[in-house]
Amino acid sequence: MNYKESHILILSNVARFIDLTELEKQKYLSLLTEIKVKKKSFLMQAGDVTKYEYYITKGCLKVYTIDEDGAPHISMFAVEDYWTGDIASFTTKKPTRYFIKATEDSELLGISRVNYDLLFQEIPKFERFYRILYQRSLVSYIKRSNHGISLSAEERYIEFKKKYPKVVNRITQKDLAGYIGITPEFMSKIITKVNRK
């Protein structure tokens, strides 16, 4: 069977953890929705009840909250081959506190709540896929939450560059500051200092 590029990408992502028959692949793909978002437009805004979980096939998005003082706190940058969304809102149907905004023109595959439930019924193997996917995400979020409380801003910046070398060049310094958890001014000072070394 001849698949389009975005479908090849998501199937190879899924194939990391489970094997699907040709029929299952087609069933799976039929449950997905193609979504395009222009740079600067929103995939989700605080207050929405999120309809989809997303897989990014092209582009870059930032996932963030805005605190009472209006300061943004970025929880992740989602680029090609990443999953994103707000699982809490997706599963509980409560309004999200997150914004997801495209920082580049982006293309995604979304799975709706109905289809997500259906997926587990029709291809129970996907329980395993998501079990392993969540297990791995968990490991990286546990690490990140430890870093947040135990590393200095400069150390967190160095870690970020090491972990996401390609992402650094695709985002603004201001957004990076929002991810590291500091002001853009201090981010600028850290970068000057680290690069001087």
Partner DNA sequence: TAAAAGTCTTGAACTAGTTCATTTTTTTTC
Partner DNA sequence: GAAAAAAAATGAACTAGTTCAAGACTTTTA
| Residue numbers at the binding site for a copy of itself (CB under 8 A) | 65, 67, 71, 73, 75, 87-88, 91, 120, 124, 127-128, 130-131, 134-135, 137-139, 141-142, 144-150, 179-181
Q: Which residue has the tokens 């905004």?
A: 101
Using the minimum distance from each CB to a copy of itself, give the nearer residue, 183 or 188.
183
* Residue from 4, 56, 54, 53 nearest 25 by CA: 4
Using the minimum distance from each CB to DNA, give the nearer residue, 58 or 113.
58
First-residue to last-residue Cα distance in the chain: 53
Q: Residue 3 binds which entry of a copy of itself, DNA, none, with Cβ cut-offs from 5 to 8 Å by kind?
A: none
- Longest Cα–Cα distance of the chain, Å, equals 56
* Residue from 152, 156, 133 nearest 144 by CA: 156
Q: Residue 191 binds which entry of DNA, a copy of itself, none, with Cβ cut-offs from 5 to 8 Å by kind?
A: DNA
Q: Residue 142 binds which entry of DNA, a copy of itself, none, with Cβ cut-offs from 5 to 8 Å by kind?
A: a copy of itself
Distance CA 155, CA 152 (A): 5
Query: Which residues are near DNA by CB under 7 A?
Result: 39-40, 69, 71, 152-154, 172-174, 181-186, 188-189, 191-192
**Phi and psi at residue 19, to the nearest 5°:** -100, 135
H helices, E strands: number in the chain:
9, 8
Q: Residue 173 binds which entry of DNA, a copy of itself, none, with Cβ cut-offs from 5 to 8 Å by kind?
A: DNA
Closest distance of CB 36 from a copy of itself, Å: 26
Using the minimum distance from each CB to DNA, give the nearer residue, 137 or 172.
172
* Residue from 110, 113, 122 nearest 61 by CA: 110
Q: Which residue has the tokens 């969304």?
A: 85
Q: Residue 192 binds which entry of a copy of itself, DNA, none, with Cβ cut-offs from 5 to 8 Å by kind?
A: DNA
